[in-house]
Structure 1
Amino acid sequence: MKRFCAYSIFILFLFLANACAQPKTDLPKTDRPNIVFIMSDDHAYQAISAYNDQLIQTPNIDRIADEGMLFGNACVTNSICAPSRAVILTGKHSHMNGKIDNRSPFDTTNVTFPQILQKSGYQTAMFGKLHFGNNPKGFDEFKILPGQGDYYNPKFITSKGDTTITGYVTDIITDLTLDWLKKRRNPDQPFLLMYLHKAPHRSWLPAERHYKEFTQKTFPLPETLFDDYKTRGEAAKTAEMNILNHMVLNYDNKVLPEVIEELQIEDRKLHDPLERMNPTQKAAWDAIYNPINEEFKNTYPTMNDSTLMVWKYQRYMQDYLGTIAAVDENVGRLLDYLDEEKLSDNTIVVYTSDQGFYLGEHGWFDKRFMYDESFKTPLLIRWPNEITPGTTSDEMVQNLDFAQTFLEIAGVIPPSDMQGESLVPLLMGQKEKWDRDAVYYHYYEYPAEHAVKRHYGIATKKYKLIHFYYDVDEWELYDREKDPNETHNVYDQPGYSKIQTDMKLKLDAIREKYKDSDSLSNGYLQLYKDEGWIEP
């Protein structure tokens, strides 16, 4: 009768004990740093040349690391879009803020760090992809994409109604951001600017200037492209994100429906990824992609599984990396403006992604797992006069930490229910003040798209322990130093018995610290059943 009855009671329980401290600061408003938070969607750290220069050069994003700090062990608490963004905004794990997956609603009683900064005197603006909610709290101005948004001629939601803008989404988001900085920024206030890209989210449509170039490129194959998962359990083997078996030829690889039909290939039918293009844009696209289709039509009959896997991987990389080229260019536009207007010296700039992404590692695309490529995320931070340029950090940090970091930078006392730790000591070279040795992860969205089973786990610099649950009971343990590709599960191996015991004790302790438990997991499972997402 009541649509989210079980959910509402469950969340009410979580929030009864939460207390929010009043924002306080001892710094004059004009002395507090501006904060520019740049986030892309599904941007793998291995597709940033500061981390790996084998796939693409990203000189503008790299510039943030060259002039600031590069984090090598940044990670997420839940590798899926909307929950990650909710964690960033609230500074609380998914089980505490209630946004456990892309299906469940965001509880708007959550207090977010932009609300607190706005209340403490910051001018606030958001442009780009939020992914959930059409009226974000705590912003003086916003223009956001509805849901996933579109690459070409996207629609935007604003406080004054919807509007459609002709052009390419990455360029448009930057135009909107620069327009706000030039025309409506109050020079007498510090500002929080959230500059949020759609790219490189699926279905990976590059701008014309980039697909002409990137469709001509060939990329190195990942070492684990043909992973057989032989030491792992059912969770890895049954996930539906294999490039050969689950990547959609039309939607993902841009093979025309008539070619698929002529070749008598079974292919999932998803919506047309090019449906937003106008005739001029579509003609330019067809001029490049129709010859690719013709070549595929001629060579497909000679392909085996191995050669088809490689073909689909190359097509995937050409489009995925092509979208990143536009992100890098536009990040450069923003950084240049900050420099030209002499804003850089008092502005902290953060570049990150809502999670990592598989670029063929383990044969996969997408994210969700606690394995490194989706668990780890890029994080580059520039803060002139505070961060020593060109420094690196291998400390275990998370998207959970952004809210408290920004509040400390602004001189604001955080709410007592935030669960992260401020990164300020690391940014200022005070590593001795950082005492975290492990991070916690919990993924909930199953059964669902890509069929990645529910799991939680703990990671230290040396080891990672994962527990898959719900319809399986599987444990995996990885030696991150000896097995960086995470292909050898050493759980129950005699040489790792003490490590297994120690990691389980650490897992129990960290779950208690963050107030997660099996009873909470069961509550969220009941929500899935009540909503009809899984069989009762």
Structure 2
Amino acid sequence: MKLLKLFSILILGILLFPSNINAQKSGVEGKPNLIVIHTDEHNFRTLGCYRDQLTEDQAFVWGKGVEVKTPNIDRIANEGAICNNYYASSPVCTPSRASLVSGNYPIETASYRNDIPMKDEVITFAEVLRKDGYATSYLGKWHLDGKAKPGFAPKRKFGFTDNKYMFNRGHWKGLEDDENGNPKLAGKYNPKNERQTINVKNTTAEDFTTDYLVTKTLEVLERDKNKPFCLMVSIPDPHTPNTVRPPYDTMYSNLHFEKPKTLKTPLEEMPKWAGAKGKNLVNELEQDKMQRYFGMVKCIDDNVGRILDFLDENNLTDNTIVVFTSDHGDLMGEHHKHNKGNPYEASAKIPFVLRYPNKVNAGKVIKKAYTTIDFAPTILGLMDASQIKNVDGLDASTDFTSTKKEIVDDRITYMTSSHQNWIASLNNRYKLVLSAEDKPWLIDLEKNPDEDINFYNNPKYKKIATKMQAELLKQAKKYNDPIFSIKKKDLIYK
């Protein structure tokens, strides 16, 4: 009788509380969940967790106290790990994204410039997890299917079984459901010029793109929470145009952005690969656009909080890997430029924070150079999943799972330019840039974080300059960098 009573209580408990039991099931089976929150053109200095890693002058390049609070993204870093030296494989959208999902340099994926579709043969981390029984979903900007714009739900899914809310290109400011429950652009869309006409001041938490995508993310998580899931949400902000819904559009209107120190550097003292003699040079900061950039970051952070709250409320926090990262940075006035495309820190360095309470100790700081090619093998390593064969990237999962509070490693890796006018090697302190347009540039990020001094011909740096150059040319050749197929000055081949 006692056994029958105990069995009845057990059955009743399962019927009353099925979601919590099932939510923990993947942990019992040893399959962690994965959420990748991915932004576009995100300056790492706008995040509190990165400002905490910097000296005051580097944390506040636009003036003391000019900051946006990001408690939710900071929470991921504080409860997990922060990488101080994570870079785009190539600091523009398509190449960096191709590397992130595949573990290969852009040329290997065919997507070495913007709007070039990724080749069919590419295997992504999502495809590996899909075959391992995961529910795989992608929401937001993709930019790996060629020139389609907006290009909702591309036919080629690359392992993301649910790509209903994926769109190929565009930085749309409003999304909504059509009569069939599928996503469409809010406002008016002109297919001839591929532009959306929308008054962002009239958008709300229901249809502003960042909020809309996170709302749909929560719906997908609710649907899949009782099985192992892999979800990537790619928010198209804080990329230009710098517009954001109320109240974020005026939230930082009281701030005055001072010129970064490097905005005052004479153009003739800058390297040619920096685009100092090109178009779109900046001599003054547009205060309203800078303020709204901060507003976009704040909106993103608030929405990250919604995702973290969902995990807490559903008992999924400990066994879910949460990654917050971006495809590339935004110079935001440094070195006379906005946007991206060169090897300076604000352009090429990306935020990368990761939380996984079951395996990664809180408060870990990693000072080791990675690029987006390292993401796929590392995340699969953390998940004890099969690896993609013949990837260029490094499985750095043990850096995250080690008991060391701080990882310091002078590994040298390299990044490339989408227009083949420079290549660069880098580690956790030095950066060497080779270009046919200028003499070699060696940057010492410890001695000169403003990156406006060339140490290449300094006798004290001869050993490191030689080492960085030899390793750069070795890796660029190994990974078939396009720069070797272009006839240029002899300098690049030395």
Sort the TM-score into its range (normalised by shorter chain). 0.7 to 0.9
Q: Distance in 2 between matches of 1:131 and 1:104?
A: 9
Residue aligning to 1:457: 424
User: 1:230 deviation in Å?
Assistant: 4.0
Residue aligning to 2:149: none
- Once the two structures are superposed, residues 414-468 of structure 1 have per-residue CA deviations (whole angstroms, 9 ceiling, x without a partner) of 122211112311111266999761110110237xxxxxxx210101223211112
Equivalent pair of 2:267/2:277 in contact (CA under 8 Å): no
- Once the two structures are superposed, residues 370-396 of structure 1 have per-residue CA deviations (whole angstroms, 9 ceiling, x without a partner) of 111112111111010321112211111
Amino acid at match of 2:158: K
Equivalent pair of 1:124/1:141 in contact (CA under 8 Å): yes
Residue aligning to 2:5: none
What stretches of structure 2 of length at least 5 have no aligned partner?
Answer: 1-25, 52-58, 60-65, 146-153, 187-205, 489-494
SS in 1 for 2:173: coil
Structure 2 CA distance for partners of 1:93 and 1:480, relative to 1, 3 Å: same
Residue aligning to 1:249: none
Greater RCO, CA 8 A, separation 6+: 1
Residue aligning to 1:219: 257
Q: Distance in 2 between matches of 1:485 and 1:62?
A: 24
Q: Distance in 2 between matches of 1:177 and 1:42?
A: 21
Q: Distance in 1 between matches of 2:487 and 2:229?
A: 41
Residue aligning to 1:240: 279
The match for 1:181 among 217, 221, 242 is 221
Structure 2 CA distance for partners of 1:333 and 1:104, relative to 1, 3 Å: same
Amino acid at match of 2:309: D
User: 1:494 deviation in Å?
Assistant: 3.8
Q: Would you say 1:88 and 2:87 are equivalent positions?
A: no
Q: Distance in 2 between matches of 1:28 and 1:120?
A: 15
Q: Distance in 1 between matches of 2:266 and 2:407?
A: 43
User: 1:232 deviation in Å?
Assistant: 3.3
Q: Distance in 1 between matches of 2:49 and 2:32?
A: 25
Amino acid at match of 2:427: T
What stretches of structure 1 of length at least 5 have no aligned partner?
Answer: 1-26, 245-308, 447-453, 524-536
Amino acid at match of 1:418: V
Q: Distance in 2 between matches of 1:149 and 1:316?
A: 16
- Once the two structures are superposed, residues 349-383 of structure 1 have per-residue CA deviations (whole angstroms, 9 ceiling, x without a partner) of 00011112112211221111111111211111101
TM-score normalised according to structure 1 size: 0.73
Q: Distance in 1 between matches of 2:338 and 2:73?
A: 23
CA RMSD of aligned residues (A): 2.6
Q: Would you say 1:420 and 2:393 are equivalent positions?
A: yes
Q: Which moved more, 1:509-518 or 1:499-508?
A: 509-518
Amino acid at match of 1:500: A
Residue aligning to 1:125: 137
Q: Distance in 2 between matches of 1:318 and 1:233?
A: 29
Residue aligning to 1:386: 359
Structure 2 CA distance for partners of 1:233 and 1:227, relative to 1, 3 Å: same
Equivalent pair of 1:425/1:433 in contact (CA under 8 Å): no
- Once the two structures are superposed, residues 102-128 of structure 1 have per-residue CA deviations (whole angstroms, 9 ceiling, x without a partner) of 043321221111111101111101111
Q: Distance in 1 between matches of 2:264 and 2:439?
A: 23
Q: Distance in 1 between matches of 2:115 and 2:37?
A: 25
What are the equivalent positions in structure 2 for 1:76-475 lying under 5 Å apart? 76-133=88-145, 134-135=154-155, 136-142=157-163, 143-153=165-175, 163-164=184-185, 167-182=207-222, 184-185=223-224, 187=226, 189-236=227-274, 237-244=276-283, 309-310=284-285, 312=286, 314-429=287-402, 437-445=411-419, 454-469=421-436, 472-475=437-440
Q: Distance in 2 between matches of 1:31 and 1:444?
A: 40
Structure 2 CA distance for partners of 1:499 and 1:411, relative to 1, 3 Å: closer
Structure 2 CA distance for partners of 1:94 and 1:123, relative to 1, 3 Å: same
Equivalent pair of 1:150/1:169 in contact (CA under 8 Å): yes
User: 1:28 deviation in Å?
Assistant: 8.6
Q: Distance in 1 between matches of 2:72 and 2:225?
A: 26
User: 1:224 deviation in Å?
Assistant: 1.8
- Percent identity between the aligned chains? 30
Q: Distance in 1 between matches of 2:280 and 2:331?
A: 9
Equivalent pair of 2:371/2:415 in contact (CA under 8 Å): no
Structure 2 CA distance for partners of 1:186 and 1:374, relative to 1, 3 Å: same
Q: Distance in 2 between matches of 1:522 and 1:121?
A: 48
